[in-house]
Amino acid sequence: MAKIRVFAGQAGRSFAAGMCEHLRVPLSPSRLQRFANDCLQVQLLANCRERDVFLVQPIVAPVQENLMELLLMVDAARGASAKRITAVMPHFAYARSDKKDAPRISIGGRLVADLLTTAGVDRVLTMSLHAPQVHAFFRVPTDQLHALHELATHFSLQDLSRTTVVSPDLGNAKTATAFARMLGTPVAAGSKERLDGDAVSISTVIGDVAGRDVIVLDDEIANGSTIIAIVDLLDRAGARRIQVACTHGILSNGALDRIMASGRVDGVVCTDTVPHDDLADDDRVTVLGVAPAFAEAVRRIHSGESVSALFHHGVE
C-alpha cells in the first residue's frame, strides 16, 4: 500500500481516519484556505506523484461548500501528477436531483457527476445512491456499495420470529426484499405518492403487518416526512413494534424529534455516511460504521481485485 495516498475534506476527516485505520496507512494532511473574497483554496500536503490518490468527502451540508472543496482537491491532485484519482463520497446529496419532473428544471446529479469528471476524477466510490439512474450519470468507473450487511448484522441479534421488513415505497422494494431475505423475514411495501416538496402520502401497505414487529427500511432520511407517514399507516394497520433503519441519516430540520414524537418508533438505525457529532450521546439513534467496507473497497481498487463481492448481498 506504499503507493496509496488518502486525503480528506472537512466533512470527511473522521470517516477517512476510520478507513485509514483499517488500511494501515496514514491519513495524509491537506489545508483549506478561505480568502477575503470568500474563495477557497486547497493544498495537499503530501507527495501525490504517480500515487493512487483517494479523496474522501461526503457531499453533505453545507453541500455546496463541501462539493467545491472536493473539486479543488481533485484539481490539486491532478496538478500534482497523481496516477489515479478516486473520489470517495460516502453520501452524494445531489443523487436526489435525478430526473426532469417539471418544466425547465435542472438535473443536478448529472451536472455534478460531469463536474467531477471534468475536474479530473478517474473513479468514484460511493454508497446507496438515491436512484438507480444516478449511477449512469458518472462517465468514469463507479462502485456503489450498500450497507445491508451492516444493518442485517445489527438486527440479526434480535428475535425476528415475528418481524416484517417494510419499504415505504415500491421504488425501494427490491432493496427491502434483499434485506428481508438476509434476515429471513417477510417483506411489505407502502404505496407512496410525493405531493409537493417534502409532502408525501402513503395510502396503503401491501403485505401483512398486523401484530408484527416492523423494520422500516429506506435509503435515507432527510426531513423524515416519508417515515412519519409510513409509521402512522403502520400504527393504524396494527403493527406491534416499529423500528426504522436507513443508510444515510441526514435527519435535517428536527427530523429525529418529529419521527420519535408519535411514541411508536422504538429507535432509528443509520450508518456514519453522514457525519453527526450531535448523535453520539443520543440513545434514540444507533450509528453503524461503514468505514471498514469502504477501506476494503479501496484496498481492492488499489490492488486491482474485484469490488463486486462487497455489494452483491442479494442486490443487483
Block residue for cell numbers 405531493: 195
> Please, which residues have CB within 8 angstroms of residue 25's CB and are 6 or more apart in sequence?
1, 4, 6
Q: How far is CA 143 from CA 9, 89, 104, 179, in A?
A: 20, 11, 31, 20
Give Rg (Cα) of the chain: 20
Q: Is 68 exposed, middle or buried (0-12, 13-18, 19+ CB in 10 A)?
A: middle
The residues assigned a catalytic role are 192
> Please, which residues have CB within 8 angstroms of residue 135's CB and are 6 or more apart in sequence?
129, 142, 144
Residue in 250, 229, 204 with CA at minimum distance from that of residue 92: 250
Beta strands in 9-81 (DSSP E): 30-34, 40-44, 52-56
What is the rounded CA–CA span in Å between residue 241 and residue 243? 7
Residues written for the chain: 316
Measure CA of the first residue to CA of the last residue in the chain; give whole Å. Answer: 30
Residue 138 phi, psi dihedral angles, 5° rounding: -80, 130
- The DSSP H or E segment spanning 221 is strand 213-221
Block residue for cell numbers 470517516: 15
> Is the peptide bond preceding residue 62 cis, with omega within 30 degrees of 0?
yes
DSSP label at 138?
A: -
